[in-house]
Chain A
Amino acid sequence: MSVRITGLSRRFNGQAALDDVSLEIARGEFTALLGPSGSGKTTLLRVLAGLDFPDAGLVEIDGRDVGQVPARERRVGVVFQHYALFRHMSVAENVAFGLRVRPRATRPAAAEIDRRVRELLELVQIPELAGRFPDQCSGGQRQRIALARALAIEPLLLLLDEPFAALDAVVRKDVRRWVRGLHDRLGITTILVTHDQEEALELADRVAVLDRGRLAQFAPPATLLEAPATAFVAGFLGEASCIPARLSGGRLESPLPGLAAPPAWPDGALRLFLRPHEVAVEAGPGPGLVRMVHPSLGAGTRVVLELEGHVLEGVVPPGLPVPERGGPCGLRALAATAFHEDGSRARLA
């Protein structure tokens, strides 16, 4: 086990940023910490890096309790959101920095440091930038410099704090695939902090979803989408819309037709989560009010609509007429994930 977190709590002025979080991450695994802002994901990253200290709980890296170990002795590489490069040093100096500042006894020889820096710059594919300064590099290049700098100390654990947030959309996709490829080659245990579900689901072997300081679910991406453990996870992932409903006398009372009541559930309030492809929209009279229409290739036309005050997204199957914006439309649920107020979950169809 490479990283083990047990019962971790951290409060700021009485407010819990992390509340009894436990996770185990295998050596070499690529994990994402996913959650909205304020969910505690960055606090967790800072605690792992040794930049912040928990009020309770245990953090072990490679079997060693690092609770009292300061950041500089943890061998944790961090790529910060805004890269935090040293502007007064050249790219090569930035990358070499973590080695040069070591005490003499553990510091590699100058020639060895130079060799390592060249190697790392090759690895991140920017050898030609060695003599430049960070301000003279583009966003994507700075990100690679930050990565090379973090890798130079041969970290046991690599932490990436929203590393793609400052890149434009096209570069971002390229860079994140490249980062995943790099991880697969180097095999360093990596934790990515992000609020972007697409990023987390694409990159990570397993995703830890955080909800207001608590771990909501820690599972592979497919499991999160197919079997969300809580209503929060269901709502946060996969562009789901949420519609309230009721069970009374075994009958489902929902503004949305097409769903059968879950068998053997007690009466009470439900929340239905529907992904766009689970809501079929058709032109013509109906209870829906079309708010936006955005055409797409192949998969049908996406429609944002309003139903009894709730906003949801649906799809008009390919080939069928598309309703007009501002006009009415008919709709039907094909499937949904339901959460009962008692916490139990079921798939409805």
Chain B
Amino acid sequence: MEFDIAYLLRYLPSLLRGLALTVQASGIAILLSILVGLVGACIRVARVPVLSQLIVAYVEFIRNTPLLVQLFFVFFGLPALGLTLSLFWSGVLSLTLWAGAFQVENVRGGLAAIAPGLKEAARALGLNQAQYLRLVGLPLAVRVGLPSMLNTCVSVIKNSAYLSAIGVQELTGVAFDRIASDFRAFEMLAVLLAGYLSVVLSLSAAVRLLEHRLQAPFRR
């Protein structure tokens, strides 16, 4: 079987639309999940009563169930509870909840890595807990946790392929539909791999740049 460029070019516009949707869905989910991670980790570290226990339960629940089942639950289950979301936003919500749990742990790990003396220094200088977390804890925790946070972000992009299972027309969805109708798997699968690889590699490059900037104070 030959690699048919013409065939590929014919469907390139719809594949690019799919890619755009992949980038959109994962982009929004990545940003929201980082927010969840920062807030969740602070709540855990500050031991806010009730909320802190809820975060623990949330993280355990997400970590110990399959993303695909979580996705189905959001799309098919939540409407029964009175919350109906579009295909796209069901996908974004699932990815956010999934990645958020991991980001909580990533940021928490970063906070735990900070020398306890720093927190005491902050207290002695007049900072309260919230000020410490915002001005000292999180800026340092993010620097420490950046590699593991990037891992989670990469997983969000790769796992956005699951969204095709509920019918979101992102990259995988578009490609699989074509395979189902034309039975030309080779070109489509090659494009899929290349598409994800290019998105993930661009993200990694961007994060490396960010890391380089964030690490500037620590270079001698």
Specify which chain B residues have a CB less than 8 angstroms from the CB of A149 in the assembled complex. 125
Closest partner residue, chain B, to A134 (CB atom): B217
Could you mark each residue 71-96 of chain A with 1 if its beta carbon is under 8 Å from any beta carbon of chain B, else 0? Answer: 11100111011101111111000000
B136 contacts A86, C-beta separation under 8 Å: yes
| Known contacts A51-B120, A80-B117; is-contact A88 B125 (Cβ 8 Å) | no
Q: How far is the CA of A202 from the CA of B47 in the complex (A)?
A: 45
For the side of the interface on A, what is the size category? 20 to 34
Q: How far is the CA of A81 from the CA of B116 in the complex (A)?
A: 12
| Known contacts A80-B117, A86-B118, A135-B218; is-contact A72 B140 (Cβ 8 Å) | no
| Known contacts A87-B218, A88-B143, A133-B217; is-contact A49 B124 (Cβ 8 Å) | yes
B117 contacts A82, C-beta separation under 8 Å: yes
Specify which chain B residues have a CB less than 8 angstroms from the CB of A150 in the assembled complex. 124
A101 contacts B135, C-beta separation under 8 Å: yes
How many A-B contacts at CB < 8 Å in the complex?
Answer: 73
Task: List A residues 164-193 near B (Cβ within 8 Å).
Answer: none
Q: Which among A98, A101, A102, A136 has the highest number of chain B CB atoms within 10 Å? A: A101
Specify which chain A residues have a CB less than 8 angstroms from the CB of B139 in the assembled complex. 88
Q: Is B126 close to A, CB under 8 A?
A: yes
A135 contacts B131, C-beta separation under 8 Å: no
Q: How far is the CA of A89 from the CA of B117 in the complex (A)?
A: 16
Could you mark each residue 34-75 of chain B with 1 if its beta carbon is under 8 Å from any beta carbon of chain A, else 0? Answer: 000000000000000000000000000000000000000000
B220 contacts A135, C-beta separation under 8 Å: yes
Task: List B residues 115-137 near A (Cβ within 8 Å).
Answer: 115, 117-118, 120-121, 123-128, 131, 135-136
- Say how far B183's CB is from chain A's closest CB, in angstroms: 56
Closest partner residue, chain A, to B127 (CB atom): A101
Q: Is B219 close to A, CB under 8 A?
A: yes
| Known contacts A101-B135, A135-B217, A135-B220; is-contact A84 B126 (Cβ 8 Å) | no
A77 contacts B219, C-beta separation under 8 Å: no
Could you mark each residue 87-130 of chain A with 1 if its beta carbon is under 8 Å from any beta carbon of chain B, else 0? Answer: 11110000001100110000000000000000000000000000
Specify which chain A residues have a CB less than 8 angstroms from the CB of B128 in the assembled complex. 72
Specify which chain B residues have a CB less than 8 angstroms from the CB of A77 in the assembled complex. 124
A88 contacts B217, C-beta separation under 8 Å: yes
A84 contacts B118, C-beta separation under 8 Å: yes
Q: Is A153 close to B, CB under 8 A?
A: yes
A51 contacts B123, C-beta separation under 8 Å: yes
Specify which chain B residues have a CB less than 8 angstroms from the CB of A135 in the assembled complex. 217-220
- Say how far B9's CB is from chain A's closest CB, in angstroms: 49
Specify which chain A residues have a CB less than 8 angstroms from the CB of B140 in the assembled complex. 86-88
A84 contacts B123, C-beta separation under 8 Å: no
Q: How far is the CA of A70 from the CA of B132 in the complex (A)?
A: 14
- Say how far B4's CB is from chain A's closest CB, in angstroms: 53
Specify which chain B residues have a CB less than 8 angstroms from the CB of A102 in the assembled complex. 126
B127 contacts A84, C-beta separation under 8 Å: no
Q: How far is the CA of A101 from the CA of B124 in the complex (A)?
A: 12
Specify which chain A residues have a CB less than 8 angstroms from the CB of B136 in the assembled complex. 86
Task: List B residues 129-166 near A (Cβ within 8 Å).
Answer: 131, 135-136, 139-140, 143
A-B contact pairs, 18 of them (CB 8 A): A50-B123, A50-B124, A51-B120, A73-B126, A81-B117, A82-B115, A84-B115, A85-B121, A86-B136, A87-B218, A88-B139, A88-B217, A89-B217, A101-B126, A133-B216, A135-B220, A136-B217, A149-B125
- Given A49-B124, A76-B124, A136-B217, 20 more pairs with CB closer than 8 A: A51-B120, A51-B123, A51-B124, A72-B123, A72-B125, A72-B126, A73-B126, A77-B124, A80-B117, A81-B117, A84-B117, A84-B118, A84-B120, A87-B218, A88-B139, A97-B135, A101-B125, A133-B217, A133-B218, A153-B125
